[in-house]
């Protein structure tokens, strides 16, 4: 199976690309951009980050070393499929769970308390209704059935990114031909640990908008570095609601 990354990183407005765009006095801005790239890519190399930001790989490694020192990032060996060409594969870098936790929403405790009250007052159905209305609002601008599955998946990714999910799409070739929607950050992951209805509502909304049955392959809640949803390119009939519910959900 061959993966080809096609996502676009959105940098903070103060970060400008180019060799001279980020002077030494703006180290914090550069480091923020690197964190965004690590978040968006899952794992990447120092040279790839340097190409994106227009700075040297050595300069990138200085920032990566600082992130590693405080426990926000880690260095890992490249997987076999990530190695191309001759020579020793470059080390790859990714955010740690602690680094991700620093990006999470500051009001998690308040949100969990509110959701508990909602369940106490309105029951499970009230929680499911809230979860579905929330994702429907996020995806409001996505036009279902107006383009190809790939184009619609890209619209979904764009809407999720605007909502804070740092989402990209990745085409997949081979036996599992399709496109994967990769949510590299989840602003409600801690809430979803107790209320998986948030995740199930996402999966249901994706299936309806894309007009096909979708499958969650990995989730941040379960310890993965992204919530990955596989969307087959061959149209399928979306399962009935009771079938979707029986399959369960995780973010």
Q: What is the mean pLDDT of residues 97-106?
A: 69
pLDDT at residue 79, rounded to an integer: 59
pLDDT at residue 210, rounded to an integer: 94
Backbone angles phi, psi at 75, to 5 degrees: -100, 135
Q: What is the mean pLDDT of residues 180-190?
A: 90
Spell out the domain ranges in the chain. Answer: 2-101, 108-247
Cα–Cα distances (Å) from 181 to 16, 107, 143, 188, 215, in that order, read 27, 26, 17, 17, 10
Find where tokens 């998946």 sit: 153
Which of 77-81, 94-98, 161-165 is the least confident region?
A: 77-81
154 or 250, higher pLDDT: 154
Asked if residues 1 and 173 have their Cβ atoms less than 8 Å apart, the reply is yes
Find where tokens 């059935």 sit: 145
Pinpoint the alpha helices (H) of 70-223.
97-101, 108-138, 149-162, 189-194, 197-210
Q: What is the mean pLDDT of residues 53-70?
A: 91
Over pLDDT 70: what percentage of the chain?
Answer: 75
pLDDT at residue 85, rounded to an integer: 53
pLDDT at residue 243, rounded to an integer: 40
Asked if residues 1 and 36 have their Cβ atoms less than 8 Å apart, the reply is no
Which of 37-41, 145-149, 228-232, 240-244 is the least confident region?
A: 240-244
Fold of 108-247: Muramoyl-pentapeptide Carboxypeptidase; domain 2 (3.30.1380)
Instruction: Say whether domain 2-101 belongs to CATH 1.10.10.10.
Output: yes
Q: What is the rounded average pLDDT for all residues in the chain?
A: 79
Q: Which residues contact 49 (CB under 8 A, 6 or more apart)?
A: 34, 37, 38, 57, 60, 64, 93
- DSSP readout, 179-235? EEEEE---TTHHHHHH-THHHHHHHHHHHHHHTS--EEEE-TTTT-SSEEEEEESS-
Which of 7-11, 195-199, 210-214 is the least confident region?
A: 7-11
**pTM exceeds 0.85:** no
- What is the distance between the alpha carbons of residues 229 and 216, in angstroms, rounded to a whole number? 4
Confidence of residue 249 (pLDDT cuts 50, 70, 90): very low
Residue pLDDT, tens place only, 193-204: 999 999 999 999
pLDDT at residue 143, rounded to an integer: 81
pLDDT at residue 104, rounded to an integer: 58
pLDDT at residue 96, rounded to an integer: 86
How far, rounded to the nearest angstrom, does the alpha carbon of residue 7 sit from its chain's CA centroid? 10
């Amino acid at each position: 199976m061959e993966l080809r990354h096609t996502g676009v990183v959105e940098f903070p407005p103060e970060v400008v690309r180019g060799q001279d765009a980020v002077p030494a006095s703006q180290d914090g801005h550069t480091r923020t951009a690197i964190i965004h790239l690590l978040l968006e890519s899952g794992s990447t190399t120092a040279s790839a980050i340097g190409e994106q930001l227009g700075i040297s790989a050595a300069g990138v490694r200085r920032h990566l070393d600082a992130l590693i020192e405080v426990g926000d990032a880690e260095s890992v060996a490249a997987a076999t499929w990530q190695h191309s060409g001759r020579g020793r594969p470059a080390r790859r870098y990714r955010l740690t769970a602690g680094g991700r936790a620093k990006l999470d929403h500051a009001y998690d405790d308040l949100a969990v308390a509110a959701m508990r009250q909602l369940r106490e007052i309105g029951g499970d159905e009230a929680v499911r209704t809230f979860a579905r209305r929330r994702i429907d609002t996020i995806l409001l601008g996505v036009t279902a059935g107006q383009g190809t599955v790939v184009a619609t998946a890209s619209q979904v990714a764009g809407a999720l990114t605007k909502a804070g999910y740092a989402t990209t799409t990745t085409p997949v070739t081979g036996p599992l031909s399709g496109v994967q929607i990769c949510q590299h950050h989840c602003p409600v992951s801690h809430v979803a640990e107790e209320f998986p209805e948030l995740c199930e509502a996402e999966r249901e909304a994706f299936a309806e908008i894309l007009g096909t049955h979708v499958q969650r392959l990995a989730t941040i809640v379960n310890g993965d570095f992204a919530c990955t949803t596989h969307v087959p390119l061959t149209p399928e009939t979306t399962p009935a609601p009771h079938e979707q519910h029986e399959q369960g959900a995780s973010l």
